[in-house]
A and B are shown apart, each in its own frame.
Chain A
Amino acid sequence: NAGVTQTPKFQVLKTGQSMTLQCAQDMNHEYMSWYRQDPGMGLRLIHYSVGAGITDQGEVPNGYNVSRSTTEDFPLRLLSAAPSQTSVYFCASSPLGGARWGTGELFFGEGSRLTVL
């Protein structure tokens, strides 16, 4: 049972380069999300999705794009990387509970450490 799988685990980019962080889950969860973790800041929500074809912005969406073409996959795209995007990124999923944004119990991937030079 793989759970939530993120790739790559580590990446170094130069300013202005683009890249995609991949996230896949095999639990048939409707809700998927991306967080970034910075020292002293906790986890901050970047984007989230409540189902295929539906995405929305979180707390810190600028500089990031997402799409959700399938239930399983939720890639995060950096179109033009900046040093301020150096961070650890987490993908997380959850089943939806009625009208709620999930049960709150998120299942996390192992994280991707991104460094932008």
Chain B
Amino acid sequence: AQTVTQSQPEMSVQEAETVTLSCTYDTSESNYYLFWYKQPPSRQMILVIRQEAYKQQNATENRFSVNFQKAAKSFSLKISDSQLGDTAMYFCAVQGGSEKLVFGKGTKLTVNP
């Protein structure tokens, strides 16, 4: 079975600063995908970034980047130059092999002006 743990239920950051959201996971699959999804107050789930486990290079998408530590089963999300529109729930997720996508419980991020 796959599990995802997000240890920070809530976080806050000042506009323009950098924040890192933590995620640890467990899977028995040798190849798997990791994801960060964003859910703003509008409730729409949006894919932020995706990492394939066999790729050593950390994924980046504009201001969003990950720190993927495969041995430690850690997958943190770094948001640089935080903007008010980054205020949202952020969910970490893992999917490998024939397993279904499993989500963590989420981190509520508030960006303060």
Chain B CB within 10 Å — which of A43, A45, A48, A102 has the most?
A43
Interface flag for B103 (CB, 8 Å): yes
Q: Mark B20-46, 1 if CB is under 8 A from A, else 0.
A: 000000000000010100000011111
> Is the Cβ of B97 less than 8 Å from the Cβ of A100?
yes
> Is the Cβ of A105 less than 8 Å from the Cβ of B47?
yes
Known: A42-B105, A44-B103, A102-B95. 15 other contacts (CB 8 A): A42-B4, A43-B91, A43-B103, A45-B100, A58-B100, A92-B45, A100-B97, A100-B98, A101-B100, A103-B33, A104-B33, A105-B33, A105-B35, A105-B47, A106-B47
B residues in contact with A110, CB < 8 Å:
42-44
A residues in contact with B35, CB < 8 Å:
104-105
Residues in chain B within 8 A of chain A (CB atoms):
4, 9, 33, 35, 42-47, 50, 91, 93, 95, 97-106
Cα A110 to Cα B4 with chains together (Å): 23
Q: Which of B9, B43, B93 contacts A104 (CB 8 A)?
A: B93
